[in-house]
Amino acid sequence: MQDLNIFGNYFNKMKFIILSTLSLMLAISPAFNSINAQTDTTTIQKDSSAIANNDTSNKEAEDDGMNLFLITFAIAFFSAILVASFFGAIAAIVVIGFIFLLITAGITSASVLMGIYKRSFATGFKTFIIILGILAGTFLGAGCLWFITKFFHLQLSESNALWIGAAGGCIGGILTGLIIFKALQLIITYFKNKLKQAIA
């Protein structure tokens, strides 16, 4: 009950302050209205003479405001393009990296399976090198023939240039893989014989 009395006293005090403030504002407002009326007539006279002079400056101010809006809009637009390009580049790098990992895993697993099937490490390694040669040769052959077609203006369509280059690159990749494997085999045999001679 005592809490209600405290609340009631507080409410009465606030009601008194609010009513006092309102009555003071009502009492002062006629004096402000007469002052405002006098200043309004002088400002109207000044404004009527200044309207003709300030008409061109108002147009310039409106143009400046429009230019500011256009600049802000252009900055926002180009910022959005930069952000979208950045995230697009990151997404492309992630996708290309994922594809590269899948291709690497496929090459490695095919080589391991071939080595297990033939029960020979050399066969698995040979398969690995030949598959790498095929992939590298295919992409290099297609890209090189497409570039040559564009640079020398050959009478080949783009698709034909890509297919012919890919086929030639694939054959070249197989031959390059076999040559690299034989060269590595000869180098390993040479060092193995040197090691045996050094031990004996």
Alpha-helix runs per DSSP H in the chain: 2-118, 121-152, 158-199
pTM: predicted TM-score of the whole model, two decimal places:
0.53
Task: Determine the pLDDT at residue 21.
Answer: 64
Torsion of CA 125, 127, 133, 134, to 10 degrees: -170
Tens digit of pLDDT at every position of the chain (200 positions): 555 555 556 556 666 666 666 565 666 655 555 555 555 555 555 555 555 455 555 555 555 566 777 788 888 888 889 988 999 999 999 999 999 888 888 888 888 888 888 888 888 888 899 999 999 999 999 999 999 998 888 888 888 889 999 999 999 999 999 999 999 999 999 998 988 888 86
What residues have CB less than 8 Å from 161, skipping those under 6 apart?
Answer: 142, 145, 146, 148, 149, 154
Q: What pLDDT does 171 receive?
A: 93
Residues constituting the chain: 200
Q: How many helices (H) and strands (E) does the chain have?
A: 3, 0
In whole angstroms, what is the distance from residue 184 CA to residue 191 CA? Answer: 11
